A and B are shown apart, each in its own frame.
Chain A
Amino acid sequence: MSKKALVIGGGIAGINAAVELANNDKLVILVEKNGELGGNVNDMAATFPELDEAQPLLDEQKSKVEDNENIDIKFNSEVISVSGKAGDFKVEINEDGNTVAEEVGAIIVATGFNYMEPNDYSEYGYSRLDNVVTSQEYERMVMNGDIKKYSNSNVVFVHCVGSRDRVKGYRYCSKICCTYSAKHALLLKQEVPSANAFVFYIDIRALGKGYEEFIRDAIEDYGVRYIRGRVSKVINKEDTLLVKAENSLIGNPVELNADLVVLASAMEPQKDSKELAEILGIETDDYGFYKEAQSNMEPVKSSKEGIFLAGSCTAPLEIRESVAMGKAAASESLSFLG
């Protein structure tokens, strides 16, 4: 059996898997498609549910990998072929243009998610209207201070864009957008107290420890107005946006003038997730997320022995769960690492 492990993807899940293995004296090859570690957390201002600053937290995680002599990071790299079996995989990697061969005992897939571009939602005017942005773009606006220009303005946060939509998006719920939208409204009220925050929702899903209280604080302590009804339309009207919905709690159609509209778009599988599944010989679900060996009891085993799964390549997940899966996947791979 080879002592080395291969981790594919250097986001928060892959970082934690690699560090855990290295701490157990295993050699790790960490293959990252891009030129930097951190994945989607690089685009994050602060984290729910404690509103910690995201970048210092991430830097600390990155340094654990970068300073580790057991971990060989390959940037701008991708896995091109895998053969053999658990304990003895032969892998070819395209490392920045050159093909290199490696032998590894176990593989951890931690390739994360893609954030959906809601271009099909012409009713919301994304990419057509200025001041209609995605939640991920909004995180950037918080980081670079762009939200400061919305003093005395109305900012509208739209839930479930591309999620819970069989026609233009996905049937699943993206699980954490209720909580990060509350975070966005809360950050607005903290940074720009004179701004008004409105959130339109179908139902509020606070699926984690402390999330319900976090969202209720946004409503009760920061005065964020939650309106129950999926947004129907965003219309350009002179120099503002007109948001139309139904307030389903009273059954009346409702309108609101907005200066900025933020779309909580879906977390979707990576565009190439099925190709990588083919290379690895593992199964995906219908969407393209990687499938567990058993959904209750084997959350980090893939359908193939010796290949493990971690983080949001399996489903939309928050940081905490991605980290936990990374560590669990590392622990389960140890038995294949001689």
Chain B
Amino acid sequence: MLYKIGSDQKKNRILQKIKSSGNDNLNQCLQCYKCGGMCQKSDKFDYTPRQILEQIIDGLEESILNSRAIWICETCNECKIDCPVAINFKKIMASLREIAREEGIEPNTEEVNRKFVKKAHCPKKEDD
């Protein structure tokens, strides 16, 4: 889908939210593809972790919040442990689920992270 890059990062709501939830190193990502190859769940994802990250930078909110990947992620943290710049996807994915939930977006896959399903009915936020 064609999209237009805006120059004003302040208008990029999703980027601002992800940054304020403690992920301020997004632009250190080398787009090296290691995370996508190592994630146990990425074969079920529509976007690999780094593709989600790239879309956050350009503010492609609709596509991210409607993606399967954010619900399937096991928040296992493996991708962060072996990422050369320690991008914290576990935290990013949790924030994205939270934003999706606020927007009233339901998981669109059967493969939802079970840890998250339990918590979805609980008013408390997901753990880090």
Residues of A near any B CB (own CB < 8 A): 154, 196, 198, 216, 219-220, 223, 225, 227-228, 247, 249-250, 252-257
Contacts and interface: CB of A to CB of B under 8 A. Distances in A.
Given A198-B5, A249-B54, A250-B51, 4 more contacts: A253-B3, A254-B2, A254-B3, A255-B2
B28 A220 contact: yes
Given A225-B57, A249-B54, A220 B7 contact: no
14 contacts: A154-B7, A216-B28, A219-B27, A220-B27, A228-B31, A247-B58, A249-B54, A250-B47, A250-B54, A252-B3, A252-B60, A254-B58, A257-B4, A257-B7
A188 B126 CA distance: 42
Interface on chain A toward B: helix, strand, loop, or mixed SS? strand
Interface in B32-52: 47, 50-51
Nearest to B8: A196
Interface of B: 1-5, 7, 9, 27-28, 31, 47, 50-51, 54-55, 57-58, 60
A76 B43 CA distance: 66
Residue of A154, A223, A254 contacting most chain B CB atoms (<10 Å): A254
A223 B27 contact: yes
Given A249-B50, A250-B47, A250-B51, A256 B57 contact: no
A100 to B, nearest CB: 57
A182 B1 CA distance: 29
A254 B4 contact: yes
A223 B54 CA distance: 14
Contacts of B7: 154, 196, 257
Contact of A253 (B2, B9, B27, B57): B2
A247 B2 CA distance: 10
A156 B121 CA distance: 47
B4 A256 contact: yes
Contact of B5 (A216, A249, A255): A255
A254 B6 CA distance: 11
A223 B10 CA distance: 13
